[in-house]
Every structure is written in structure tokens, then in C-alpha cells.
Amino acid sequence: MLITLSLLWGGSFFFVEVVITELPSLTTVFLRVLIAALALWIYAAFKGLYPPNNAKIWGMVFIMGFLNNVVPFTLIAWGQLYITSGYASILNATTPLFTVIIAGMVLADERMTPMKILGVSVGLVGVILMVGPSSFEGLVLENISSEGISLPILAQFAVLIAAIFYAFAGVFGRGFSALGVDPIITAAGQVTASAILLVPLVLVIDQPLTLPFPSRYTVLSILGLAVLSTAVAYILYFKLLATAGATNLLLVTFLIPVSAILLGILILGEQLELMHVLGMLLIGGGLSAIDGRLWKRKNAS
């Protein structure tokens, strides 16, 4: 499931890069969560599942939507206007580092250990090696805001803040499994809450009804972003969160660049380079160190 989730979320960086050439960031995020909500509720009805009638669950769903969708989706979509998708994926791969710290302070069963910190650090180096120096293209300080601040620098901070929000969401989302909420309902409720929260912002800031209708490539990318990288992805997300924990779940951000490069090799005929292999080995070592079971067995023997 973790590998499948990495494929789905790896595609989101590509889809976003296509969509933001024609649509504003907030409109992109709103369409993403709105279409995902429709798809998930249709799927839930097919499975015989219905919206919860518990006010506590809906309160948690709105908090989760704010932490896991509204803020990070918007920050990443805006950030990709000024930095490359490859560099955004590197910054996004800091999510496990923040998760180890936050989960270690909050969750009794996910305490921070030296092995986890080592694993996150090794994995992050592997991500940087895999994506390579070319991902840093576009960081020239040619885009300057009215206050004289480099927009690419602000974009980097935006994606880092998004990673922190993802970490908080992963820790907060552990509470849904204790309430016995089906992952499909949790996913549907989260994106529904996100769409509701975004409505006033989109109408005031982007005024989407005045925008020209996008091209078919953008429409297809929006559908891919909403149905695959959001609806299907979040069903897996909440299943993994309940069974594997926040830290192990958010290791998916290490696997996203691996998925992107392997897809490029298999589908686009790109070349597998030495740096890719070294990066994958480091990511694998980092993942095993954070999980810890292989290392425990080795020490026991």
C-alpha cells in the first residue's frame, strides 16, 4: 500500500505542474478536493457506507481537512509556480523528519529514537541524490516580490511549512482509528470539509467563474489529481495510518521520487543512472532503520 500511495502522490506533482499553468492555486486545490469528495461519496454509497452523524467526528474531519489538505495543498501549488516539481518533492521529503519529532513528543508508541533520526537523515540524503542537481534549476532570484523578497525563497519556505502541516495531520489522524471510522468515510469527510473551507476563499480571491475554461490537458490533469492522487490515495492513507502509524506512513514522501524515476524509466525510456541506484539504496537503508524490525532481529542474532 505504501508503494501504491507513493505512485499516486508522485503523480500529484506532475498534475499540479500542468494545472497551475492555466488555473490559480486556490482554484486548483478547490477542484482537487471537490471532485475527490464527489468520487469518494459515490464509492462510499456503493460500499453501503454513509456520512457519520457524530458531531465529534465531523469536528475532527474539519481539523484534518485544514491540516492535511487546505494549507499544504495550497502552499505546494503556489510554491510550484517558482520552484521545480523535483525540488518541491525534495522539500516534501522532509515530512518524516518533522513527523518523527512531533510524533515522538505526542504519541507514546512512536517515541523518537536515535535510530529513527539516523534513518530519516539517511533517507533524505538518498532523496537528494536521486532527484539530482537538475532539480535545483529555477532557484535563480529573478522573481522578486514587491517587498524585494525572492519568490523562489518564499516558495521553498511554503513547501517546508506544508511538510510540517502534513506531519501534524499524520499525528492528529491517528485518532480516527480509535473512533472506529471507516477509512473511506474519513477520506470522504476530510476532502468534503476542505472543499467547504475553501469556498469563500476561492470565490473572493480567484473568482473562478470569471476564468476561461481550461484546455483538455488541464481538465485531464485535474481529474487525475482529484481521483487518483487524492480520492484513491487518501483511502490508502487512512488505512496505513491506522495500521502502521504516522511515522511509517509518512515515509511515503521518501518513496515518491523513487516512483517518479522508475516510472520515467519504464514508461518514458529514461536511463537508470548510478546516482539513482545509490539514492534508492540509501532510502532503503533509511526506511529499514526507522522501521527498526530488521535491525532488532540482527542485534538479537
- Per-residue pLDDT at 108: 65
- Per-residue pLDDT at 40: 95
Helices vs strands, H then E, count in the chain: 16, 0
**Average model confidence (pLDDT) across the chain:** 79
* Least trusted range by pLDDT, from 51-60, 107-116, 290-299: 290-299
Q: What is the pLDDT of residues 96-145, one digit of tens each?
A: 778 877 877 776 666 767 777 777 778 777 777 766 655 555 444 455 55
- For residues 45 and 205, give the distance between their C-alpha atoms in angstroms, rounded to a whole number: 34
pLDDT above 80: residue 224: yes
Return the percentage of the chain with pLDDT > 90, whole number. Answer: 25
Mean pLDDT of 185-203: 93
* Contact of 18 with 221, CB cutoff 8 Å: yes
pLDDT above 80: residue 237: yes
Question: How many other CB atoms are there within 10 angstroms of residue 98's CB atom?
Answer: 20
Q: Write down the domain spans for the chain.
A: 2-300
pTM for the full model?
Answer: 0.76
Q: Using alpha carbons, select from 127, 136, 27 the residue that is nearest to residue 82.
A: 136
- For residues 272 and 67, give the distance between their C-alpha atoms in angstroms, rounded to a whole number: 36
Mean pLDDT of 260-272: 62
Q: What angle do CA 257, 263, 269 make, to 5 degrees?
A: 125
Mean pLDDT of 210-226: 92
pLDDT above 80: residue 166: yes
* Contact of 166 with 72, CB cutoff 8 Å: yes
**208-212 contacts at long range (C-beta below 8 A, 24 or more positions apart):** 208/23, 208/24, 208/27, 208/30, 211/23, 211/24, 211/27
pLDDT above 70: residue 281: yes
- Per-residue pLDDT at 265: 65
pLDDT above 70: residue 33: yes
Instruction: For residue 146, name the pLDDT band (cuts at 50, 70, 90).
Output: very low
Mean pLDDT of 245-270: 65
Take residue 31 and report the three cell numbers written for it: 477542484
- For residue 144, give the 3-state DSSP assignment: strand
Which of 9-13, 21-25, 81-85 is predicted most confidently?
A: 21-25
Instruction: For residue 16, name the pLDDT band (cuts at 50, 70, 90).
Output: confident
Mean pLDDT of 8-24: 83
Q: Using alpha carbons, select from 123, 122, 98 the residue that is nearest to residue 110.
A: 98
Instruction: For residue 246, name the pLDDT band (cuts at 50, 70, 90).
Output: low
- Per-residue pLDDT at 140: 45
